[in-house]
Amino acid sequence: MIRPLVVAAAGVLAALLPVAPADAHPMPHTVVTLDVHDRSVTASLQLPAEDFTLASGADPASPTAVRAYLLQHFHPQAMTGTPWRVEIGAVSLSDAEQTGTGPYRELLVSAELTPPPGGNVRHFRLGYDAVVHQVVTHTVLVSARDGGTSTEIGVIGIERQTMTVPDLTVDLGSSFDFRPFAGMAAVVAAGLVGAIGLRRRNTRAIR
């Protein structure tokens, strides 16, 4: 499913402004890590708090607001289109830094994604457009872990021609090995691989 993009005023203005110089700090992006289990998938989310507020208008210190917003923008489904159940768990705020971005506030969120009975936890569509539905410059990096093995699945972002945010197909087969992002060169050029240099401190849970 492709969901229409609602462009934030800030995003429109950003598109009209000149391109930032090469030495400008890249903006922090969202990181989604999927842990594959026998009957479900756990998603660990890292979202820049400022972009979350810009997109949602909600207080990142309010777990109720965070959960309500993410439930509206997190729609995994089977390849047949059958929706999965999404449960948003722990929510915390942290100080973080991605390579080149400088320090910023970050939301850490866990979610449990459960397919319908008989659903395939290794092959599904990840519908996720939190923040990117409003902040056109935002990007979501998605990876998966299974038994200690990690792989980069892909990048979620706006398609500029259609102004939509397509679902990302997750296809891990019966097992998988590490493989780079499709278009990794473009990601590197955009400074998005700063997730590798991510560090956080002073994490606190909010309830």
Name the residue among 131, 142, 136, 143 with its Cα closest to residue 158: 136
**Residue 53 parent element (H or E):** helix 49-56
pLDDT value of position 5:
42
Q: Which residue has the higher pLDDT, 68 or 193?
A: 68
Q: What tens digit of pLDDT does each residue of 141-162 get?
A: 999 987 777 789 999 999 988 9
Chain-centroid distance, C-alpha 159: 15
Tokens 């942290």 belong to: 94
pLDDT value of position 149:
74
In the predicted model, is pLDDT for residue 187 greater than 70?
A: no
**Percent of the chain having pLDDT more than 70?**
68
Range 180-203 average pLDDT: 40
From residue 100, give the alpha-carbon distance in Å to each of 5, 104, 191: 28, 11, 8
Domain boundaries, the chain: 2-12+32-206
pLDDT value of position 144:
94
Name the residue among 155, 89, 84, 156 with its Cα closest to residue 123: 84
In the predicted model, is pLDDT for residue 176 greater than 80?
A: no
pLDDT band for 196, please (50, 70, 90 cuts): very low
97: CB partners within 8 A, 6+ apart: 103, 104, 197, 198, 199, 200
3-state secondary structure of 192: helix
The Cβ of residue 183 has, within 10 Å, a number of other Cβ atoms equal to 12
In the predicted model, is pLDDT for residue 18 greater than 80?
A: no
